[in-house]
Structure 1
Amino acid sequence: MPKKVDHQARRTLIADALMRVAAASGLEAVSLRHVAAEAGVTSGMVQHYFATKDEMMSFALAVIRERNEARVTRAVGALSQPLTPHALVRTILVELLPLDEQRRADGRVALAFLAYTAVRPAAAARMREDTDQMVTFIADQIRAAQATASAPAALNPEHAAAGLLAAMEGLGVYLLGGQYDAQTAVSALDDHLSLIFTG
């Protein structure tokens, strides 16, 4: 009887190898040969699952997205009820900051992918969708806080959400670069959140 191959597991194995190469050496070091060597498979196997570097990168980013979603779901599930918009948004954004080694490795790949897509608009489509969804979600939470008068009524929810997301991303870059430590980054994020959710 032929051995059953778990194709999703193989794709994930290759994507994990790609992320290790990218996190250690940058995306310029990512090639079929390097990823195959890191994964302990042949270049032919990598090509079987990913015809192009863009396909490999998109799949790796999807793996990071799934990890982030799992972390956020666990953290939100641990919050006390009832949830406030402020607590919900804070929990999500803190979970997305690269505050431990796994999140730092994922963050380095995501940052490299962002630079990669800057000159490849087609490859950036899913990233734009994710950003739009996050801004919409945060804006909805700001509106909910405004409805209970805990957030300033004059605040434009979309603009505030976009700025908050950009602040979190910028803090993440500084964490990855070593300019900020975790306490500084989280305190700065908390100050931004307080301005938006309590005025």
Structure 2
Amino acid sequence: MPRQADHEQRRRQIAQAVWELAAGQGLEDVTLRQVAQKAGVSMRLVQYYFGTRAELLIGALAMLNDDAEAVARGSAGDDVGRDPRGLVRHVLLELLPLDEDRRLRHLVYAAYFVRFLADDDLAAAAGVGSPSLQDLLAMVIGGSADVGVDATAEAEILVAFAQGLQGQMLLGHVDGERAIALIDHQLDRIYGTKT
């Protein structure tokens, strides 16, 4: 008796095809047919799981965000909960393409960013990520940094800074070691020099 296809695995296979196409050529000209071919499935199956091209792009982005969040949570570990500076550092380092998985993720995000500029629906669907990240960092900084530190402003600055480093790393202008050193420098400014 043939095994029934795992629906979540099939969705992931199709989303992975979107990510690979986005990282390699951007999203401007990606079609359902190209995604189906890349995933090794029929176009009808892509439509079954995701519907329209817009729904496919939104769904693939949501899966990528969920994966990134799960990795960040899993690698943060219990120790980070006792070390607020360590948690802030960990979150910021997840925004940098420090390994192949994060590099692919950030190349895909860069491709999506171009689409966000031209597609209001896609931009609206993606608009929930950064503010919640900034809110998390502001909460941690506010509860752990010196009195007088504007936690909201620091969180906004840190996220923007890490995203700028991300682009510089993808372009090859800054290496991972330097990016980490710059993140640590900014955290020293907020929390004081590491001991």
TM exceeding 0.5: yes
Cα deviation for residue 4 of structure 1 reads 2.9
Matched, 1:60 2:54: no
* Counterpart contact for 1:85–1:142, Cα < 8 Å: yes
Matched, 1:137 2:136: yes
Cα deviation for residue 2 of structure 1 reads 7.8
Cα deviation for residue 175 of structure 1 reads 1.1
Paired residue for 1:88?
Answer: 87
Q: Count how many residue pairs are aligned between Structure 1 and Structure 2.
A: 193
Paired residue for 2:106?
Answer: 107
Alpha-carbon displacement from aligned partner over 1:43-98 (angstroms, at most 9, x marks no partner): 22212222222211112212221221222122211636x62211111012112311
Bigger Cα displacement from structure 2, 67-76 vs 84-93 = 67-76
In 2, the alpha carbon distance for the partners of 1:102 and 1:85 equals 25
Task: Normalising by structure 2, report the TM-score.
Answer: 0.90
Matched, 1:32 2:26: no
In 1, the alpha carbon distance for the partners of 2:131 and 2:161 equals 15
Gapped regions of structure 2 (runs ≥ 5): none
The amino acid that maps onto 1:128 is G
Task: Normalising by structure 1, report the TM-score.
Answer: 0.88
Q: Give me the CA root mean square deviation.
A: 2.0
Gapped regions of structure 1 (runs ≥ 5): none
Cα deviation for residue 7 of structure 1 reads 2.2
* Counterpart contact for 1:21–1:29, Cα < 8 Å: no
Paired residue for 1:71?
Answer: 71
Alpha-carbon displacement from aligned partner over 1:114-138 (angstroms, at most 9, x marks no partner): 2211222222234322211111110
In 2, the alpha carbon distance for the partners of 1:193 and 1:118 equals 31
Superposed counterparts of 1:168-187, under 5 Å: 168-187=162-181
* Counterpart contact for 1:22–1:29, Cα < 8 Å: no
Cα deviation for residue 32 of structure 1 reads 1.0
The amino acid that maps onto 1:142 is I
The amino acid that maps onto 1:28 is E
In 1, the alpha carbon distance for the partners of 2:26 and 2:55 equals 17
Bigger Cα displacement from structure 2, 18-27 vs 40-49 = 40-49
